[in-house]
Amino acid sequence: MKKNILGKTGIEVTELCFGALPMGPLQKNMDLESCTEVVAYALKKGINFVDTAQMYRTYDPIQEAVKLTGINPVISTKSTASSYEEMEKAIDEALKSLDRNYIDIFFMHAARVDVDVFEVRKGALKCLLDYKARGYIKAVGISTHNVKVVELALSRDDMDVIFPLINFKGIGILGGSIDEMKGAIEKAAKAGKGILIMKALGGGLLLNEYKAAMDFVKNLEGYHSIAVGMVSKEEVDFNVNYFNGIYEEEKIRGIGMDKKRFIVVESLCKGCKSCQDACPNLAMEYDEEKKKARINQERCLTCGYCTASCPEFAIRAV
Ligand code: SF4
Ligand code: SF4
């Protein structure tokens, strides 16, 4: 598989990055052994880049897979910490849980945080930069859904890697249009930033249009790697083959990649009810006791309309 250098970091990564969110407790909640098996398989198939986060709670299977295979991939992680102390804890947790002396890339996990992110998270950023200076982190960056945050990050010397959201339907992009995000990514790459793309498949919503969605991000000017969440060996094979130039449309159904279901991630839902109006099928219900939305699976037609209405990105395809 083709490899690229992430901007000026000197870190060489495969074009396909293993996204460790969907297998974990926030989405599919697979057991440790099954998660480990999938990560190990991905490493053996040549993927040398794994992306996780403090919030995903998938450090253990990654560490187990490294031990099992003897293959040491590039690992990126992220934390929503705002203060120095919180970030210090997050770094310590990552180093210990992943059993490493350093983390390759540590992002500020700032998906929907606005343009004041560098101000409101300045303690956390200082901590990342201190740990980088001490050799515990190789590169520092930010993960964001916001075009304007990408534009800010690209002109900052302390940002080595940017992890923006983009997909051909524009699902989840904040602060601008698809074209504006494309332009910001291109400018960031020209400024020497490493670019890792997220949500190329719209969090699973674009699986039925896999080729169009992936072709779109693969044709972006300036990207270095694309994070794709995977939960089975069959999905690893399918994605690896695509990145190696083999597209097997007939296999999408066979491996269940088209069988999606939508859920509300309770820990993310703020109970704002915006999603109820967006559902054309009266499938979005509200639990008054828990003050959370929930999807009536018998009514849900998996159209995905509700996902774009959720300001918290709490509705996911699994
Ligand atoms: S996926 Fe479509 S049908 Fe299902 S809850 Fe969301 S909007 Fe309603
Ligand atoms: S829009 Fe999102 S945060 Fe608001 S109630 Fe629905 S799922 Fe929860």
Domain ranges of the chain: 3-254, 262-317
What does the pLDDT read at residue 254?
A: 65
Distance 92 CA to ligand 1 centre (A): 40
What does the pLDDT read at residue 55?
A: 87
What does the pLDDT read at residue 34?
A: 97
Q: Which CATH superfamily is domain 3-254 in?
A: NADP-dependent oxidoreductase domain (3.20.20.100)
Percent of the chain, pLDDT > 70?
A: 94
- Mean pLDDT per 10-residue run, the chain (318 residues)? 97 97 81 98 98 94 98 97 98 98 96 89 98 98 96 98 94 91 98 96 80 96 96 94 92 65 92 88 90 88 74 86
Ligand 2 pocket check: which of 262, 285, 312 to mutate, most ligand atoms within 8 Å of Cβ? Answer: 312
| Cβ(281) – ligand 1 distance below 6 Å | yes
The CA angle 133-150-57, to the nearest 5 degrees, is 65
Q: What is the CATH number of domain 262-317?
A: 3.30.70.20
- Taking CA atoms only, the protein residue closest to ligand 1 atom 3 is 300
What does the pLDDT read at residue 49?
A: 98
What does the pLDDT read at residue 177?
A: 96
Ligand 1 pocket check: which of 276, 303, 316 to mutate, most ligand atoms within 8 Å of Cβ? Answer: 303
Tokens read off for 139: 């590169």
| Backbone torsions φ then ψ of 100, nearest 5 degrees | -130, 155
